[in-house]
Chain A
Amino acid sequence: MRPFHPSYIITALGQIIPFLWVTLATMAGTVFFGSLAGLMLARAKVRRRPLSRALANVYIYMTRCIPSIVLLFIIYYGLPELLLAFGININGFDKAFFVITTFSVLFAANMAEVFRSAYEAIDPGQREAALSAGLSEWEAFFRILLPQCVTVALPNFANALVNLMKEGSLAYTIGMVDVMGKGQLMIGMNNGSYSLEIYLALAILYWALTIVLEKGFGYVEKRLSSGKRTAAA
Chain B
Amino acid sequence: MHINTEFMAETFLASLGGIPVTLEITLVTLLISVPPAFFMALARQRRKGIGSRLASAYVSFIRGTPVVLQILFLYSLLPSLLNYLFTQVMSLQVNVFKWNTILYAFIVFSLNTTAVLSEVFRSALSTVEHGQMEGALSVGLSRRQAYARIILPQALVSALPNICNATVNLLKSTSLAFMMTVQDITAIAKVRAAYGYNYIEAYLVVLVVYILLCTVVQLLFKAVERYLSSYKKLIAA
Contact = CB atoms under 8 A, between A and B. Distances in A.
Contact of A203 (B73, B84, B207): B73
Contact of A69 (B69, B175, B204, B215): B175
A48 interface: no
A192 B206 CA distance: 30
A232 interface: no
Contacts of B81: 1
A28 to B, nearest CB: 18
Contacts of B207: 66, 70-71, 74
Contacts of A196: 73, 76-77
B203 A199 contact: no
Interface residues of A, number: 37
A221 interface: no
Contacts of B173: 67
Given A70-B206, A74-B204, A65 B214 contact: yes
Contacts of B77: 196
Contact of A74 (B68, B88, B203): B203
A203 B76 CA distance: 14
B134 to A, nearest CB: 29
Contacts of B66: 165-167, 169-170, 180, 206
Contacts, number: 101
Contact of A211 (B64, B67, B80): B64
A133 to B, nearest CB: 38
Interface residues of B, number: 36
Given A84-B1, A199-B73, A65 B68 contact: no
Interface string A161-186: 01001110110000000001000000
B200 interface: yes
A195 B71 CA distance: 12
A165 B64 CA distance: 9
A166 B186 contact: no
Nearest to B81: A1
Contacts of A223: none
Contacts of A10: none
A66 B215 CA distance: 11
Nearest to B2: A81
Given A81-B1, A207-B61, A210-B64, A74 B80 contact: no
A2 B80 contact: yes
Contacts of A209: 64
B168 interface: yes
- Give the interface centre of B66, B77, B81, B172 by most chain A CB atoms within 10 Å: B66
29 contacts: A1-B84, A1-B88, A64-B168, A64-B214, A65-B213, A66-B210, A66-B211, A67-B186, A68-B172, A69-B176, A73-B203, A74-B204, A77-B199, A78-B199, A82-B1, A162-B64, A165-B66, A166-B65, A169-B68, A170-B66, A199-B76, A202-B65, A203-B65, A203-B70, A207-B64, A209-B64, A210-B63, A210-B64, A210-B65
